[in-house]
Amino acid sequence: MNKINNYLITLLSALLFSCAPYADTHLSASSVPTKIIPIQKNVSKEASYIKAPDTDGEHYRTQEGYHYAYSCDVIHELATKEANVEICDIDPVVMTITKWPETEVIYISKGSVLIEDKFGDTRKFKEGDMLVLPQGFEGKWIQKEKLTKIIVRHPLYWTE
Instruction: Give me the domain span that covers residue 95.
Output: 2-154
Beta-strand ranges (E) seen in 14-119 are: 49-51, 60-62, 69-77, 84-90, 93-97, 103-110, 112-117
Asked whether residue 70 is assigned to any structural domain, the reply reads yes
pLDDT digits (tens, 9 = 90+) for 112-147: 999 999 999 999 999 999 999 999 999 999 999 999
Residue 99: φ, ψ to 5°: 50, 55
Residue 64 lies inside a defined structural domain of this protein:
yes
Could you tell me the CA-to-CA distances from 66 to 33, 40, 42, 120, 149 in Å, in that order? 39, 28, 23, 22, 19
Whether the per-residue pLDDT at 154 is higher than 90: the answer is yes
C-alpha closest to that of 75 among 46, 43, 48: 43
pTM of the entire predicted model: 0.80
Domain count, the chain: 1
